[in-house]
Structure 1
Amino acid sequence: MRKEVMEYVSQNKDLQRFMREQPAWYRRLSRNPNDIQALEIAALHHYQRTIPHKVEKFTNSVQMATMMMSMFQAMKSQT
């Protein structure tokens, strides 16, 4: 693998960890170093750090809070 690609990957701990978990990326980057952007996108999807994933997490949190509030209101109305 090219030195500049290795340096770039070594600066980002998530990319390092992703490449260790997915060794096919070593071969892919060795053959085509321009795939570094594809590596970053694949790592974001793998670790669920894309915008849709963040929106989904936020939505789940809001739904959980709403459910808890409705449970508290139901408990309060029973007493």
Structure 2
Amino acid sequence: MRNDINMVLRSQPEIKQFIRQHPYWYRKLSRDPYQLQQLQVEVNQFYGRTFPQRMEKIQNNLQLAMMLIQMLQMNPFGGTQEPPPPME
């Protein structure tokens, strides 16, 4: 493998980890080192860093927050009833 590719792998450990999990990239980069950009695209997809993946994650977090807010706003005593008087 070329030295510049090795330097990229050493400087970015997540790319190195991705290549270890997907060893066919060793062959691809050895044969065509200009596929480094394609590798970066696949790494971003794998780690969920693309714009649609980020938007989906934000949407899921918002839905969870809205559900928690709705649960907190619910009256624990069943709506219109007043809470029972405290016991003495």
Q: Please give the root-mean-square deviation of Cα atoms over the aligned residues, in Å.
A: 1.4
Q: Could you list the runs of 5+ residues in structure 2 that have no partner in the other structure? A: 84-88
TM-score by length of 1: 0.91
Q: TM-score, normalised by structure 2?
A: 0.82
Deviation sequence 1:18-72 (CA, Å, 0-9, x none): 0000000000000000000000000111111112111111110000000111111
DSSP-derived class of the 1:48 partner = coil
Q: What is the letter of the counterpart of residue 13 of structure 2?
A: K
Answer 1 or 2: which has greater helix percent.
1
Aligned length: 79
How much does 1:73 deviate?
1.2
Q: Establish whether residue 24 from structure 1 lines up as the match of residue 59 from structure 2.
A: no
Whose RCO is larger (CA < 8 A, sep 6+)?
1
What is the letter of the counterpart of residue 54 of structure 2? K
Question: Any residues of structure 2 matched to 1:1-79 within 5 Å, and which?
Answer: 1-76=1-76, 78=78
User: Structure 1: any 5+ residue segments left out of the alignment?
Assistant: none
Task: Report the AA paired with residue 8 of structure 2.
Answer: Y
Counterpart amino acid of 1:50? T
Q: Cα 1:48–1:30, aligned 2, differ >3 Å: closer, same or farther?
A: same
After TM superposition, the runs of 4+ consecutive aligned structure 1 residues lying more than 4 A away are none
Give aligned-pair identity as a percent: 33
Task: Give the number of the structure whose alpha-carbon radius of gyration is greater.
Answer: 2
